[in-house]
């Protein structure tokens, strides 16, 4: 049902936690299942230097958060804004159709964190 990458990122999630004094914070909650993701950013010269996340949800949600964090560290804010939910799922080797909404939370929470950063640093 799940790819080896999904299982790896679920059992060994990367970048879990919280960044104190984060430059941007975003949160999304799935209306369909109640999964919740919170993303914290540290930004330097328009580059995402660090990402941490806290996820309450299923294995696919945790794996999606972990993969998203790996995909955007070292990227510009614009590159991170261009990250799509489909790219997160694809990077995990795909997700079963009933779990695709989990990857949607990861990119959406990231985009909310970037929006928060941009609003507070305008």
Q: In what order do the strands lie in the sheet with 47-56?
A: 24-29, 36-44, 47-56
DSSP secondary structure string for all residues of 69-98:
HHHHTT-BHHHHHT--HHHHHHHTT---GG
Q: Could you list the active site residues?
A: 33, 102
**Dihedral, 15, 17, 21, 26 alpha carbons, nearest 10:** 80
CA distance 97 to 107: 17
């Amino acid at each position: 049902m799940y790819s080896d990458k999904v299982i790896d990122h679920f059992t060994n999630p990367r970048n879990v936690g919280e960044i104190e004094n984060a430059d941007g914070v975003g949160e999304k909650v799935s209306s369909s299942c109640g999964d919740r993701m919170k993303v914290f950013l540290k930004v330097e010269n328009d580059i995402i230097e660090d990402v941490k996340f806290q996820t309450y949800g299923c294995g696919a949600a945790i794996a999606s958060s972990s993969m998203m964090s790996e995909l955007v560290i070292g990227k510009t804010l614009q590159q991170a804004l261009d990250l799509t939910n489909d790219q997160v799922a694809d990077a995990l080797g795909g997700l079963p159709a009933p779990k695709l909404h989990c990857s949607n939370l990861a990119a959406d929470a990231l985009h909310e964190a970037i929006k928060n950063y941009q609003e507070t640093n305008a």
